[in-house]
Amino acid sequence: FIEDNGRLAGLIAVRKLLQATDTVQPVKGLMISDFIQLKPEDERADVAGLLAHAGADVVPVVTHGKLVGCLTEREIAHLLEDDVTEDAQLQGATLPLEKPYLETSAFSLWKKRSVWLLLLFVAEAYTSSVIQHFEEALESAIALAFFIPLLIGTGGNSGTQITSTLVRAMALGEVHLRDVGRVLRKEMSTSLMIAATLGLAGCVRAWMMGIGMEITLIVSLTLVCITLWSAIVSSVIPMVLKRCKIDPAVVSAPFIATLIDGTGLIIYFKIAQYTLGLE
């Protein structure tokens, strides 16, 4: 419904208009005055999150209150689909594709993937530096090396689960910056239960391998600490990025997993040094 000055006053559903029985009722009485409206400069990711909850068939686009266009039901569906696809690709550490997968050349895929993989390669390099720094601890208790893949893999997997869930919830508008405290408390509570479960599993695994009680204790404590640390990192970083106006999906699960890998090793070796009395 457009006023004489060109301003958008409201929306009228065609079905409601056709089903109206009062033929003398003013059109204004059928008008919906409380409705969602967009601006041409709105970010696509923000719009997708808003529309996911709106359930509207048509959404007007306005500038200074004047109608300049609209998004139909089909366009809204395409927008939501594109947003989900882009988030999935970013979380997999690859740049979004402009064309369908089968229409994308191998060279284009190389360009999309190699940049992120090189960045991950450089970031992962500090993991080897951590191992080199604690070389003497490894030489004193070689059994510590047996559990490195298990520990860093567990930390990365835990972080990936949290990041994927949280980023999607933020995209749907279910979680906002003001909820950071609630998110952290929820994930810490969940991770405490997961940590206890994994700590027990680590104890059983070390016992099955015939490892001494000291190493068994180290592995179990490390699993608990890494799981809790992973919960903090994976909960806070996406929220901080959102606060800095950066799409949280860009910092994909592989990046957070890489961060947890190195810091998890530091936790592991520090616990080992303290427990075994190593320098």
Distance (Å) of CA 142 to CA 128, 134, 148, 216? 16, 12, 11, 13
Query: Where, residue-wise, is CATH 3.10.580.10 in the chain?
Result: 14-91
Query: Where, residue-wise, is CATH 1.10.357.20 in the chain?
Result: 115-276
DSSP string, 61-102: EEETTEEEEEE-HHHHHHHHHHHHHHHHHHHTTSPPPSS-GG
Under CATH, which architecture does the 115-276 domain have? Orthogonal Bundle (1.10)
Average of per-residue pLDDT across 104-108: 81
Residue 266 tokens read as: 């530091």
Residue 45 tokens read as: 């990711």
Map residue 5 onto helix, strand or coil: coil
pLDDT in tens, 43-65: 666 666 666 666 566 777 778 77
**What is d(CA 6, CA 1) in angstroms, rounded to the nearest whole number?**
10
pTM tops 0.75: no
Domain 14-91 has CATH 3.10.580.10: yes
pLDDT in tens, 236-260: 888 888 788 777 766 666 778 888 8
Map residue 32 onto helix, strand or coil: strand
Among 222, 225, 207, 215, residue whose Cα is nearest residue 137: 215
